[in-house]
Structure 1
Amino acid sequence: MAPVSTMAGSSALSSRLTAVQPSATYGMLARAAALKKSGRDVISLSAGEPDFDTPANIREAAVAAIHAGHTRYPPVAGIPQLRAAIVSKFERENGLRYDVSETMVSSGGKQVIFNALMATLNPGDEVVIPAPYWVSYPEMALLCGGQPVIVPTRMENGFKLTEQDLRAAFTPRTKWLILNSPSNPSGAVYSRQDLQVIVNVLRDHPHVLVMSDDIYEHLVFDQQQFHTIAQLGEDIQRRTLMVNGVSKAYAMTGWRIGYGAGPEWLLGAMEKIQGQQTSGASSISQYAALEALTGTQDFISLARKSYEQRRDLVVSMLNAVPGFTCIKPEGAFYAYPSCAGLIGKKTPGGIRIADDEVFANELLQQTGVAAVHGSAFGLGPHIRVAFAADTELLTQACQRIKTFCSSLT
């Protein structure tokens, strides 16, 4: 068979791909890895994952599952024990009741979101996404045939949606509103009062579904209580898809287990899609996740305390950087400082800092510190600094950032 030419291969690709951008997060990770491979001293603050090991009891549960022979195809929607544990988790931690049929397990929270969008979006349907947003939300909406509607938030409002902005964004074509609290990348946390404002708007638009991405639920700081929008009324719960997983709370990013809960009609459609896509998530990972949800929870509070201490260090140091303004994130493990005061300045080598992407690239090249430019998350000029690293590395990184910024003229 004759090889397909590069041009012919490109023409064979789906037209949907032309509007989709590769992940800026993975792009920065790749550039940082290449620089490190060349021998440079690199500190990567671009990865959105805990730096802790998965707790021992969870790892041991996975080994036990292997020895017990739990290595065959699992049910598409998840093993019954884990789905029951998910039901218990929502009732215990969030005061929300679900039937097992209203849950499912996927290969990461990303697949839960993709399944839901694929199951519901028709061409032209709109997905309202507050900015800054996790980089995959708009791209997944596009891949599933929808149209992302980006609603910028403001730093002075803590990067949270306002009633006025949300009302202006909704149209008869709106299918979904995506909420992520605590937020990647801003660390914003919606209080119950904040969520009530959103609920008041939603009740005027009963055709809009809500996707509540709560993956950072357990990383809320300053003794705040976590709230999720489905808690604000049965009518809202019936139109909300809860998205969660074990990756952030239990340091299990590589295990690839996410889960969802919501109305049975939606979960059934999502299961149908997953059945034709990947089938069930890894059986071994599901037994590890079962232990995560039902075993000791001591790890969560210890990790949260560590992240909070790191946050305080990083925010303090970043606010001492010339040209930076950094509000204190209320959750997750990201700081999102503005670098507006540096746009237009030049490096000692004469390179003009035209925007936050140039800033992030020059920061990496000149100092070896990897951070993701904020415009990739829909709102610049900012950078996202992940503080999921030990304090020594964070201190070194912030010192390098300050030295670099002080050199700009």
Structure 2
Amino acid sequence: MAAGLVGSEILAIAADIRERLSRGEEICNLTVGDFSPAQFGIPAALRDGIASALAQGHTNYPPSSGIPELRAAVARLFERRLGLTYPVGSVLIASGARPLIYGTYRAVVDRGDRVVYPVPSWNNNHYTDMLGADGVPVSCGPDTRFLPTREDLARVLPGARLLCINSPLNPTGTAIEADALRGICEEIVAENHARRKSGQRPLYLMYDQVYWMLRVPGVEHVTPPGLVPEMADYTIFVDGISKAFAATGLRVGWTVGPADVIERMGVILGHVGAWAPRPEQHATSALLDDDAAMDAYVAELMQGLGARLERLYQGFSTLAKEGLLVEAIPPMGAIYLTVRVHPFGRRTPSGTVLSTNEDVRRYLLDAARVAVVPFQAFGVVGDEGWFRLSVGAVGLAELDGALERLGQALRVLD
């Protein structure tokens, strides 16, 4: 398994960018889905809470399932903000969302089981490979904002063990709408009713909502149990502070779901020591109960992110109106903009013909000093020119310069 496992394509691109930056190159880095503390700091309440917890001596092992205060705070957050009622036993804390995604796979998927996931999506192909599962990627296109529909999934859900959905979606920054998610949930419930009659194991939905607080105005976040209550028996939420509070390095995440599944996940992750640091857990539990602090912080964060996403979107729209071979999908949330740059068949000043996404990526990096991630990093096979742009680590002035250089690089193509 280890010999065959492919490393993260995004991290490989990021390593190249770091090397170029170390040589003094000026690059607008729109690759890694992270925040620069110089652009977006964590909430003051979170920072001060960690310092206070350290001063009080909270430096020993936490309970492997999370401190009781944080588990209870997560349950209260789900009830207040999402209208979903869960007991504390249905909440598990870990060191960010990644261990919880892996724990979900480990808890419900056996070797050879079928895992259904839309593409583009983040890392589901790698988790599937690690478990020796049978991955069933479902291609989604721009007509549905790269999100799955009931019709897309109905034919592949029979016999599947896990379905993975992320909204707002990494890499596209688009969010699933209520009607689309309701239809998918109805399909899952119907599938599980049929399985119950024959004694088969259920189909679970892993619902990754780690970006749910980061949405542009007018975009609603919906949940499977909120639309179809019976989905509470089959939905495993993945969530955390990494994105909503620009706290990627603090490593606090949580999963909420059926108590029996959560209990087994806790046992699995307990054996690998995937717990979040105790000081961060104490600080997070206080923040999640402070609605005023959360609302003020997220509003400020989204104002900054929204301005950057809109600047990029309008910039690409202007380039498209000029006749250049680009387009962009309006942003809905997260920290990402989906763009298409497709000058395929055109020749660069050095004589290279641009034929693939990788050709375009390298040309934009070399000629425009703009670093982007092709959708191949998210499981997409074809070369159609789609890329993810991440705005969490750049300023508006950097984006203006990047757009100007990008336009110049595209204009000189023959």
Q: Give the alignment's TM-score, normalised by structure 2.
A: 0.91
Distance 1:198 1:218, change over 3 A: same
2:179: which partner in 1? 193
Secondary structure (helix, strand or coil) at the match of 1:170 reads coil
2:51: which partner in 1? 63
2:408: which partner in 1? 403
Single out whichever of 246-255 and 46-55 deviates more from structure 2: 46-55
CA contact (8 A) 1:246 1:253 kept: yes
Partner letter of residue 111 of structure 1? P
Once residues 108 and 390 of structure 2 are traced to their aligned partners in structure 1, the CA distance between those partners, rounded to angstroms, is 33
Once residues 368 and 287 of structure 2 are traced to their aligned partners in structure 1, the CA distance between those partners, rounded to angstroms, is 38
CA contact (8 A) 2:173 2:337 kept: yes
Once residues 215 and 272 of structure 1 are traced to their aligned partners in structure 2, the CA distance between those partners, rounded to angstroms, is 23
Distance 1:122 1:334, change over 3 A: same
The 5 A counterparts of 1:76-225 are 76-134=64-122, 136-172=123-159, 174-206=160-192, 207-225=202-220
2:252: which partner in 1? 257
Q: Deviations over 1:117-174 (max 9, x none)?
A: 012211111111111111x2210121122122111111022222122211122231x1
2:334: which partner in 1? 332
Once residues 333 and 407 of structure 1 are traced to their aligned partners in structure 2, the CA distance between those partners, rounded to angstroms, is 30
CA contact (8 A) 2:150 2:180 kept: no
Once residues 362 and 103 of structure 1 are traced to their aligned partners in structure 2, the CA distance between those partners, rounded to angstroms, is 46
RMSD: 1.4
The Cα shift of 1:111 comes to 0.7
CA contact (8 A) 1:216 1:248 kept: yes
1:243: which partner in 2? 238
CA contact (8 A) 1:182 1:216 kept: yes
Paired residue total: 391
Q: For structure 2, which runs of at least 5 residues remain unmatched after alignment?
A: 193-201
Q: Deviations over 1:361-392 (max 9, x none)?
A: 22212222111111211235311111222211
Distance 1:390 1:169, change over 3 A: same
Once residues 287 and 378 of structure 1 are traced to their aligned partners in structure 2, the CA distance between those partners, rounded to angstroms, is 37
Q: Alignment partner for residue 45 of structure 1, among 18, 22, 30?
A: 30
Secondary structure (helix, strand or coil) at the match of 1:151 reads strand
The Cα shift of 1:267 comes to 0.7
1:283: which partner in 2? 278
Once residues 91 and 410 of structure 2 are traced to their aligned partners in structure 1, the CA distance between those partners, rounded to angstroms, is 48
Partner letter of residue 256 of structure 1? R
Single out whichever of 288-297 and 52-61 deviates more from structure 2: 288-297
The Cα shift of 1:223 comes to 2.3
Q: Deviations over 1:104-125 (max 9, x none)?
A: 1111101100011012211111
Once residues 55 and 126 of structure 2 are traced to their aligned partners in structure 1, the CA distance between those partners, rounded to angstroms, is 40
Once residues 55 and 303 of structure 2 are traced to their aligned partners in structure 1, the CA distance between those partners, rounded to angstroms, is 35
1:8: which partner in 2? none
Partner letter of residue 194 of structure 1? A
Q: For structure 1, which runs of at least 5 residues remain unmatched after alignment?
A: 1-15
Secondary structure (helix, strand or coil) at the match of 1:338 reads strand
Distance 1:131 1:279, change over 3 A: closer
Q: Alignment partner for residue 306 of structure 2, among 305, 308, 312?
A: 308
Once residues 149 and 163 of structure 1 are traced to their aligned partners in structure 2, the CA distance between those partners, rounded to angstroms, is 15
CA contact (8 A) 2:108 2:162 kept: no
2:197: which partner in 1? none
Partner letter of residue 301 of structure 2? A
Once residues 157 and 266 of structure 1 are traced to their aligned partners in structure 2, the CA distance between those partners, rounded to angstroms, is 32
CA contact (8 A) 2:95 2:274 kept: no
Distance 1:279 1:27, change over 3 A: closer
The Cα shift of 1:18 comes to 4.2
Q: Alignment partner for residue 72 of structure 1, among 55, 60, 63?
A: 60
CA contact (8 A) 1:344 1:353 kept: yes
Secondary structure (helix, strand or coil) at the match of 1:46 reads coil
Secondary structure (helix, strand or coil) at the match of 1:336 reads strand
Q: Alignment partner for residue 269 of structure 1, among 258, 264, 282?
A: 264
1:382: which partner in 2? 386
Partner letter of residue 308 of structure 1? G
2:318: which partner in 1? 320
The Cα shift of 1:294 comes to 2.1
Once residues 148 and 351 of structure 1 are traced to their aligned partners in structure 2, the CA distance between those partners, rounded to angstroms, is 36
Partner letter of residue 349 of structure 1? S
Once residues 267 and 275 of structure 1 are traced to their aligned partners in structure 2, the CA distance between those partners, rounded to angstroms, is 12
Secondary structure (helix, strand or coil) at the match of 2:2 reads helix
Once residues 91 and 130 of structure 1 are traced to their aligned partners in structure 2, the CA distance between those partners, rounded to angstroms, is 29
Secondary structure (helix, strand or coil) at the match of 2:328 reads coil
Identity of aligned residues (%): 27
